[in-house]
Amino acid sequence: MGQAYTPGLKVSKYTLIEKERLLPIKGKTLVEKGDEVKPFDIVASAELPGNVYIIKVAGKMGILPAEMEKFLLVKEGDDIKQEQVLAEKKSLFGLIRDTVKSPINGIVESISTVTGQCVLRMQPQPINVLAYIGGIVKEVIPEEGVIIKTKGSFIQGIFGLGGERMGNLKVIVSGPEKSAKTDDLSDDLKDKIIVAGSHTDYHFIKKAMAIGVKGIITAGIDDADIKALLGYEIGVAITGNEKIPLSIVVTEGFGMINMAKQTFELLRSLDGKFVSINGATQIRAGVIRPEIIATDLNYSDEHIKAPEYFLEKGKNIRIIRNPYFGEIAKVVSLPSKLQKLESEAMVRVVEVELENGDKVIVPRANVEIIEG
Amino acid sequence: METGYSDIKRIVATDCGSTTTKAILIEKKGEFYRLIKRGEAPTTVEAPVENVTKGVINAVGELEELTDIKFLNEKQEFIKPQENDKEGTDIYISTSSAGGGLQMMVAGVVKSMTAESAERAALGAGAIVMDIIATNDTRPIHEKIEIIRHLRPDMILLSGGTDGGTIKHVVELAEIIKAANPKARLGISYQLPVIYAGNTAARENIKETLKATALQVTDNIRPTLERENLMPARLMIQELFLEHVMAHAPGYKTLMEWTDVDIMPTPGAVGLIMQTIAKQKKIDIVGVDIGGATTDIFSVFGNIFNRTVSANLGMSYSISEVFAEAGADNIMRWLPFHPDLKDIRNRIKNKMIRPTTIPQTLEELLIEQALAREALRLAFIQHKSLAVGLKGVQQQRTISDAFSQKTSGQTLIDMFKLDMLVGSGGVLSHSPRRQQAALMMIDAFAPIGITDLTVDSIFMMPQLGVLSQVNEKAATDVFEKDCLIYLGTSVAPFGNLKKGIKPVLEVDIEFPDGKRKTEKINYGEIVIYPLGAGETAKATIKPLQGFNMGAGNNKPIEATLNGGVVGIIIDTRGRPFNINLNDEQRKEKIVKWYKAMNLYPTDEFEKITGR
C-alpha cells in the first residue's frame, strides 16, 4: 500500500479559517453577512433564563392543590419581588394569617393545581458571544449565531486548559528544545500569550498567573502538575471551563517533549502579533482541539494548501507513543504486511527515519502527520 | 425476525466505535456463512473530517484491499447487490457508538423503584445514563433543574407511579423538566425527545406540562410494584435514537441511507448476541465489552437480562478516568515492576489524548492490561449493584412508605452459578496472546467454582448482533465458527488462608486420551492443564481447608471441564481475590502467576522484571 489515512494536528502558516460563533440558547445576532468584525466585537447575544425556584404552596399552607387558586395573590406572568406575599390564608376571623413569600426577584412562570406548586424564575442574565477572531461574517444563522471566515495562521494543540483568550504573542525561549524558567517571567508579560518551549511546570504556571499572563503555549506538561494546579484529576479530556485566569495550549503531549520545529518556527514568526487561543479540548463526541489563531486577511489565497491526511513516503510525521514518543521522523516505507511488535501485537506498520538518521519500525496507529 | 434477507450470499457489516470503525465481510460458503476478512480504520466523527462515513469508507477500503473485492463505486457508494465474485455486496449493515453514543437522563418518583427501573430500561436500550433524577433524591429542586439544563442529554425518560396510582409526584417531576427547559446535545434548533413511561392516569397532565418538548408516551415501565415492563420503553428509546440523535450526528444521515436496516446502538446489538448465547446454550452468562470510552457489562441469570454501562471506564478516551477512579495503587499492583508514578500518569494521559495509539513495547502492554483489569473490575462492581431483583416488592407498604425504605434488592449475579464469561472489546479480543485475555478476566471478575472463559475472536459481536435481526442463520453460523473462542475453564475455590501455604484443592482430572492427573494444589497458585478447544475432561475437585467449590466447605464436586486455547486454569489464589501494592511479595507473586500462564515473551519479560 502506498499510502494510509492518518489525520494529524494542523500547523499551517496560511490557511482558511472558519469559526462558528454560536449562542448556547436562541437569541439574536448583531451583525450582517459580509460585515467585517474584530475579535472583541459582540456578534450575538441572548438572555439566559434565570434560575428556577419551585415553591410547594399547597403543602406549605396545608391545603389541597385544587384549592390553591383561592389563596393566591399572584398569577402566571406576574413580576414579583423578594419577600412579596404569593399566597395568603386567613383563619380564625382573620386573626391568623398563613402566608407564602417569594424568595427571589423575578416572575411567576407557572402555577399547577395538580401538584400545588408555583414555579418562580429569576431575572434573565445576558450572555454575549464575541467574534474571537477578526474576519468577515460568512453566514448568519438566525437566532443562533454566525460563521466568521478569515485567513491566517492556524495551529492545533493536542490538549489544553481554559477557554478563549486573546492577546499579543511573545516567544520567551530561543528554540523548540528549550523550556522557559520562572525567572524568564517578567511583569511586562502581563496580558501576553507566551510561548514557553518544550515544558512547563506548576511553579511556572502559578507565577505566570500572578503576573497576569493570558495564555501559555507549551510542548509538554506533566499530568501531576495539572492535578496540583486544578486540585482534581482530569478524568476525560473535556476541558475549557477550568476556573483559572489563563489558558494553556499543549502542542505535543504529556511529559518532557521538544516542540515540533515547524510549530516553533511558525510561532516565532508570529512573535508580537495578536493571537486568539482556546484551551478547550474535547476528544470525544464532536472533537474540539485547542487552537492558536493569528488572522491576516491580507494573505494571498495562493499560499493556502489543502490539508493532507495520507501517509506517504517522504511525509513528515510525529511519533505519538513510546518508545519513540515525541520524535519527528520521515516516512521511508509503508509495508503492507502485518508485522509483529515487541508487544507481540500483529499490526500494520510504517518504517520511518528519525532525525538522528536511525530507521525504525512503528505501528501506523502511533504516528500522525504534521500538516503544513 | 426479518426474512427478506434469507437468500443473501455476501454481507458487509461495520461497527462505528468511539475509537475505531471495524468492517467485516461475511460470505456464504456451501451451507454455512463464514467470516472472510476484517478491516479497520480510525473513526472520523472528529475534526478535520467530522463525518462518520469517511471512517466507514476507509475501513471498507481496507477490506477491499485485503480481499481484492470492490464494494464501493467511484462515488463511494456501496455496490448492491453482489454483481460477481469481485464486485458488490448483497447487504450493508452497521452499528454505532461513535460520537458519544446515546446519552440519556432518567427520572422516576422513587429512586430505588421507578427511577431504577427507568435506569435499567435506558441501559438495556444501549444508552449511557448521565444522571438519575428522583423525587426522593436528596438534592434541592433548583439543583436538579440546573443539572438537567447543564447536562444536555440526547433524550429524557420520565417514569413514576404504578398505573392508576397517585399522579402528583410524577407531574412534579414533569414540572422540573419543564422548568429546566432542557436543550438537546446536538443542535439547539430541535426539540428534546422526552419519553413518558409512567402512571397511565397521569398521561394527560404530563402531555399538558411537557407540550414544549417532543414528548412520546409509552407503556408504564412499572405498571405494578411487582412487575417491571421495560421492553416498550427500550424500543421507543432505540426508535428515537435513530430519528433524533443519529440524524443530527455528523455524517449519520448518509450512513443511515447506506444501511439496509436501521443502525443499532452498539451495546444494544451486543446485548442481543449475549441473550442469544444464554438462550441457545441454556446457561447463565456474564459478558463484557470494553471499549475506548465505555465498558458495558451484560448478564443473563435465570433468563433475566441486565446491562450496565460504565460511561467513564474505557481504554482510550476514558483511560484517565480509570486511573482516577481506581487509584494509582490499584493500577500499579498489577505491574511486575516498580513503576515511576509520574511517568505512568503521563503515559495514561498521552493515551487519553491520542486514543487510537497501540502499545509497541511490552512495558506499554503491561500498563494497558493493568488498567484494563481495573476498568473491568470497577465496571463489574457497578453491574452487580444494578442487576438486582425488584425493590419494594412483597412488602405490605404503600408507595409513600417506600420513600423512606432503605432495603435493597439482592444482586442477581451469583458467581457460583455463572457458567460462562464472555469477553469482547479491543483489549481482550486483540491481546497478543489469548492467555492475557483469560487472566485479565479472571483477575477482574474473580470467577468462583467452574466457569468457561471465552472471547470474541476479533471483536465482531456488535455486527453479529445487528445481523441476527436480518438473518439469524448467518449470525449464528459466524458466531459459532468464527467469533466465539473458547479459552478454557477457570476452576477457582471460594475461601482464603490467613497464613501459611497449604494445599487447598485436590484435583483428579481424566483427559480425553485416557490419561489421569491427580494433584494437590497449594494456596496462592495458578496451574494450567492443557486441554484443546472442543475437548472435554471429567474431573473430581475436592476443596480443602474449608474452601468451597459450590457444594459446601470441603465438599467435592464432579464436573465436565471444557478445553480451549489456554486450557484448564486452576486458580487457588483465594476468593475474594485481592492483591495489595504494599504486599512485600507482590512482585514475586505477579511474576510467578504471569509465568505460570505463559502470558508474555520470556526474554522481554525477564528484561523488564529482572527475573
For residue range B345-380, list pLDDT tens digits in order. 999 999 998 888 999 999 999 999 999 999 999 999
Rounded to an integer, what distance in angstroms lies between the CA atom of residue A268 and that of residue A173? 10
pLDDT greater at residue A5 or residue B431: B431
Domain ranges of chain B: 10-98, 101-258, 285-389+412-609
The CATH 2.40.50 domain(s) of chain A lie at 52-122
A51/B172 Cβ within 8 A: no
In which band, very low, low, confident or very high, does the pLDDT at B407 lie, cut at 50, 70 and 90?
A: very low
Determine the pLDDT at residue B404. 39
Q: Using CA atoms in the order B182, B184, B190, B195, what is the torsion angle rounded to 10 degrees?
A: -70
Res B408 pLDDT > 60: no
Contacts of B321 in chain A (CB under 8 A): 235-236
A289 touches B: beta carbon within 8 Å: yes
Contacts of B50 in chain A (CB under 8 A): 286-287
Contacts of A7 in chain B (CB under 8 A): 42, 44, 46, 48-49
Q: How far is B57 from chain A (nearest CA, A)?
A: 11
The CATH 2.30.30.30 domain(s) of chain A lie at 310-369
> Between A223-230 and B341-353, two packed helices, what is the crossing angle to 10 degrees?
90
Backbone angles phi, psi at B534, to 5 degrees: 90, -15
Tens of pLDDT along B581-591? 777 789 999 99
Closest Cβ–Cβ partner in B99, B361, B365 for A323: B361
Which positions ≥6 away from B37 have C-beta within 8 Å?
A: B24, B25, B63, B66, B67
Is the CB of residue B72 less than 8 Å from the CB of residue B56? no
A144 touches B: beta carbon within 8 Å: yes
Which positions ≥6 away from B109 have C-beta within 8 Å?
A: B115, B134, B135, B136, B159, B160, B161, B169, B170, B173, B198, B399
A287 touches B: beta carbon within 8 Å: yes
B226 touches A: beta carbon within 8 Å: no
Determine the pLDDT at residue B267. 83
- Please state the rounded mean pLDDT for residues B25-54: 85
A255/B343 Cβ within 8 A: yes
Judged by CB atoms within 8 Å, which residues 158-187 of A form the interface with B?
Answer: 158-159
Contacts of B209 in chain A (CB under 8 A): 112
B353, B378, B602, B604, best to mutate vs chain A, most A CBs in 10 Å: B353
| DSSP code for A61 | H
Rounded to an integer, what distance in angstroms lies between the CA atom of residue A371 and that of residue A8? 6
Which chain A residue is nearest to residue B144, measuring alpha carbons? Answer: A52
Is the CB of residue B526 less than 8 Å from the CB of residue B568? no
Res B433 pLDDT > 50: yes
Contacts of A344 in chain B (CB under 8 A): 362, 365, 432-433, 600-601
Determine the pLDDT at residue B3. 47
Tens of pLDDT along B275-313? 888 888 899 999 999 988 889 899 999 888 888 888 778
Rounded to an integer, what distance in angstroms lies between the CA atom of residue B596 and that of residue A343? 18
Rounded to an integer, what distance in angstroms lies between the CA atom of residue B400 and that of residue B135? 11
Closest Cβ–Cβ partner in B46, B321, B358 for A366: B358
B141/A223 Cβ within 8 A: no
Rounded to an integer, what distance in angstroms lies between the CA atom of residue B126 and that of residue B309? 8
Res B517 pLDDT > 70: yes
In this structure, chain A runs to a length of: 372
Rounded to an integer, what distance in angstroms lies between the CA atom of residue B212 and that of residue B225? 31
In this structure, chain B runs to a length of: 611
Span A310-369: which CATH code?
2.30.30.30
Closest Cβ–Cβ partner in B172, B325, B348 for A117: B172
Contacts of B99 in chain A (CB under 8 A): 285-286
Q: How far is A5 from chain B (nearest CA, A)?
A: 8
Determine the pLDDT at residue B398. 41
Closest Cβ–Cβ partner in A24, A235, A341 for B360: A341
- Please state the rounded mean pLDDT for residues B125-137: 84
Taking CA A346 as the corner, what is the angle to CA A344 and CA A350, rounded to the nearest 5 degrees?
Answer: 110
AA letter at B496: N
Determine the pLDDT at residue A233. 86
Judged by CB atoms within 8 Å, which residues 231-250 of A form the interface with B?
Answer: 233-237
Contacts of B293 in chain A (CB under 8 A): 284
Judged by CB atoms within 8 Å, which residues 192-211 of B form the interface with A?
Answer: 205, 209
Tens of pLDDT along B150-186? 777 889 999 998 998 888 889 989 988 988 888 776 6
Tens of pLDDT along B77-102? 899 998 888 999 999 999 987 766 67
B152 touches A: beta carbon within 8 Å: no
Q: Picking from B134-148, B209-223, B381-395, which range would have the lowest pLDDT averaged per residue?
A: B381-395
Closest Cβ–Cβ partner in A7, A144, A320 for B357: A320
Determine the pLDDT at residue B138. 80
State the complex-level ipTM: 0.85
The fold of the A52-122 domain, in CATH, is OB fold (Dihydrolipoamide Acetyltransferase, E2P) (2.40.50)
Determine the pLDDT at residue B399. 43
Looking up cell 397517585 gives B166
B168/A237 Cβ within 8 A: no
Contacts of A237 in chain B (CB under 8 A): 317, 320, 352-353
Determine the pLDDT at residue B2. 45
> Edge-to-edge strand order for the sheet containing B91-96?
B32-42, B20-29, B10-16, B91-96, B264-265
pLDDT in tens, chain A (372 residues): 344 555 568 888 888 999 999 887 778 999 999 999 999 999 999 887 777 788 889 988 889 988 888 999 999 999 999 999 999 988 777 777 889 999 999 999 888 888 888 888 888 888 899 999 999 999 999 988 999 999 999 999 999 999 999 999 999 999 999 999 999 999 999 999 999 999 999 999 999 999 999 999 999 999 999 999 999 888 777 788 898 999 999 999 999 888 988 899 999 999 999 999 999 987 765 568 899 999 987 777 666 666 666 788 998 888 999 999 988 899 999 998 889 999 999 998 999 999 999 999 999 989 988 765
Taking CA B428 as the corner, what is the angle to CA B425 and CA B432, rounded to the nearest 5 degrees?
Answer: 130
Is the CB of residue A73 less than 8 Å from the CB of residue A86? yes
Residues of chain B with pLDDT > 70, as a percent, come to 92
Rounded to an integer, what distance in angstroms lies between the CA atom of residue A135 and that of residue A147? 10
Is the CB of residue B353 less than 8 Å from the CB of residue B317? no
Mean pLDDT of chain A: 89
The fold of the B10-98 domain, in CATH, is Nucleotidyltransferase; domain 5 (3.30.420)
Is the CB of residue B492 less than 8 Å from the CB of residue B416? no
Closest Cβ–Cβ partner in A234, A254, A342 for B361: A342
pLDDT greater at residue B232 or residue B265: B232
A325/B46 Cβ within 8 A: no
Q: How far is A6 from chain B (nearest CA, A)?
A: 8
Q: Nearest to residue A285, comparing CAs of B105, B43, B21?
A: B43
Determine the pLDDT at residue B444. 97
Res B428 pLDDT > 80: yes
Res B400 pLDDT > 50: no
Closest Cβ–Cβ partner in B181, B188, B323 for A49: B181
Mean pLDDT of chain B: 88
Contacts of B312 in chain A (CB under 8 A): 235-236
Rounded to an integer, what distance in angstroms lies between the CA atom of residue A369 and that of residue A327? 12
Which listed CATH number (2.30.40.10, 3.30.2320.50, 3.40.50.300, 3.40.50.280) goes with B101-258?
3.40.50.280
Which chain B residue is nearest to residue A23, measuring alpha carbons? Answer: B188
Taking CA A345 as the corner, what is the angle to CA B48 and CA A334, rounded to the nearest 5 degrees?
Answer: 55
Contacts of B18 in chain A (CB under 8 A): 284
Contacts of B320 in chain A (CB under 8 A): 233-237
B47 touches A: beta carbon within 8 Å: yes
- Please state the rounded mean pLDDT for residues B336-345: 91
Q: How far is A309 from chain B (nearest CA, A)?
A: 9
AA letter at A150: T
Q: How far is B224 from chain A (nearest CA, A)?
A: 22
E strand map for B473-584? 484-492, 503-510, 516-522, 526-529, 536-543, 557-562, 567-571
B46/A283 Cβ within 8 A: yes
The CATH 3.50.30 domain(s) of chain A lie at 158-289
Span A158-289: which CATH code?
3.50.30
HSE-CB at B138 with a 13 A cutoff on CA atoms is: 1
Determine the pLDDT at residue B405. 40
B182 touches A: beta carbon within 8 Å: no
